[in-house]
């Protein structure tokens, strides 16, 4: 935890959790990643965070919900005792993933909305995160931004990365917090103003990336986990690759990413598609995690290869 940060525990929210020992001496640079559920931080941007932790950046994951309404996606964990204790188990999994990544982490205390299924779709459960008024949902994040004082924030795009109601709400509260945290006239009870300098959206699964990995697997005579996905790829599906402004070279941390993801044992099948492409192929073919720069208060040329491009110079002048 940085010197500027005090423990964060408004009503119903756990204090910030952190590694027992920081892997390196922390710098003045601070990065916050806002995610909807425990495990999202390990499937989106985890290698980027691990790279910046290694470089001495203070990294904090804000987790909006506890994942209470998630499924058990690992067949080996699909047991009655796991389902009965899923919320507690997911907190333990998050703690382990946090330790692997070397990041700090805060729970914002909202209840998972679940992913509605059916035709017509059923209503979302009363009191869930996605049904909160925006100012209610954003208030804990505004407070956390003002306490941690990040220079850069990572979150999802307006579609949530995929249209899970919690991911869409996560996008909305992240944008709200980015725009409001520096305004002394807004959220006046949530601490002293702090303006983050850059906001990025994850752009994880561009078609070019999937095709490149699929081609590489076939060239090695291996079965590609993406074959069926590409066959069914809609012609009119928006491609996040067209929005990428920033590529972070973090291939050497893909193993750390995968270890963190496996820590969420209820959510990830260790024999599933997530781990279907050997690390060597991933590191050779597509060694970056990709982002769209959505908001910036500093000048930086595009394309970028550093989330703190322009920030480092601004921080030196403060």
Pick the CATH number of 30-204+289-317 from 3.40.50.10320, 3.40.50.410, 3.30.365.10, 3.30.930.10: 3.40.50.10320
pLDDT confidence of residue 3: 34
pLDDT confidence of residue 24: 36
Q: Is 40 annotated as a binding residue?
A: yes
Please list, residue by residue across 48-79, b when 16 or more beta carbons sit within 10 angstroms of its beta carbon and e when fewer do.
Answer: bbbbbbeeebbbbbbbbbbbbbbebebeebee
Sheet holding 246-249, edge to edge: 104-110, 58-65, 30-35, 152-155, 198-202, 288-296, 246-249
Residues of the chain with pLDDT under 70: 1-27, 317-318
Boundaries of every domain in the chain: 30-204+289-317
Nearest to 105 by CA among 195, 19, 11: 19
Q: List, for residues 108-150, the tens digit of each pLDDT value.
A: 999 999 999 888 889 999 999 999 999 999 999 999 999 999 9
pLDDT confidence of residue 144: 98
Q: Is 151 annotated as a binding residue?
A: no
Q: List, for residues 172-219, the tens digit of each pLDDT value.
A: 999 999 999 999 999 999 999 999 999 999 998 899 999 999 999 999
pLDDT confidence of residue 296: 97
pLDDT confidence of residue 121: 86
DSSP codes joined into one string, the chain:
--TT------TT-PPPB--SS-SS---S-EEEEEESSTTHHHHSSHHHHHHHHHTT-EEEEEEEE--TT-----GGG-SHHHHHTHHHHHHHHHHHHHHHHT-EEEEEEEPP-----SSSPPPPPTT-GGGS-HHHHHHHHHHHHHHH--SEEEE--TT-SS--HHHHHHHHHHHHHHHHTT-TTSSTTS-S----SEEEEE----HHHHHHHHHHHHHTT---TTHHHHHT--TT---GGGG--EEEE-GGGHHHHHHHHHH-TTT--TTSGGG-S-HHHHHHH--EEEEEEEEESS---SSBS-TTTTHHHHHHH-
pLDDT confidence of residue 27: 58
Q: Is 167 annotated as a binding residue?
A: yes
DSSP codes joined into one string, 45-77:
SHHHHHHHHHTT-EEEEEEEE--TT-----GGG
């Amino acid at each position: 935890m940085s010197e500027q940060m005090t423990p964060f525990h408004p009503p119903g929210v756990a204090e910030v959790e952190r590694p027992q020992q920081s892997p390196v001496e922390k710098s003045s640079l601070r990065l916050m990643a806002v995610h909807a559920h425990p495990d999202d931080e390990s499937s989106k941007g985890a290698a980027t965070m691990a790279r910046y932790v290694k470089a001495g950046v203070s990294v904090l994951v804000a987790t909006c919900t506890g994942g209470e309404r998630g499924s058990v996606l690992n067949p080996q964990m699909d047991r009655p005792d796991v389902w009965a204790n899923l919320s507690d188990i997911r907190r333990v999994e998050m703690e382990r993933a946090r330790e692997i990544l070397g990041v700090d982490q805060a729970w914002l205390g909202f209840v998972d909305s679940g992913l509605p299924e059916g035709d017509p779709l059923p209503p979302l459960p009363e009191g869930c995160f996605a049904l909160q008024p925006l100012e209610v949902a954003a208030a804990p994040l505004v407070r956390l931004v003002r306490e941690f004082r990040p220079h850069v924030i990572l979150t999802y795009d307006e579609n949530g990365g995929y249209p899970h109601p919690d991911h869409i709400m996560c996008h909305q509260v992240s944008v709200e917090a980015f725009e409001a945290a520096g305004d002394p006239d807004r959220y006046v009870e949530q601490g002293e103003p702090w303006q983050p300098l850059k906001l990025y959206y994850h752009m994880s699964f561009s078609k070019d990336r999937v095709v490149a990995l699929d081609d590489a697997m076939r060239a090695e005579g291996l079965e590609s986990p993406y074959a069926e996905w590409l066959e069914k790829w809609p012609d009119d599906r928006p491609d996040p690759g067209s929005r990428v402004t920033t590529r972070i070279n973090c291939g050497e941390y893909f193993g750390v990413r995968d270890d963190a993801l496996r820590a969420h044992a209820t959510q990830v099948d260790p024999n599933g598609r997530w781990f279907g492409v050997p690390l060597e192929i991933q590191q050779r073919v597509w060694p970056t995690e990709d982002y769209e720069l959505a908001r910036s208060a500093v000048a930086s040329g595009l394309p970028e290869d550093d989330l703190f491009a322009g920030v480092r110079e601004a921080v030196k002048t403060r």
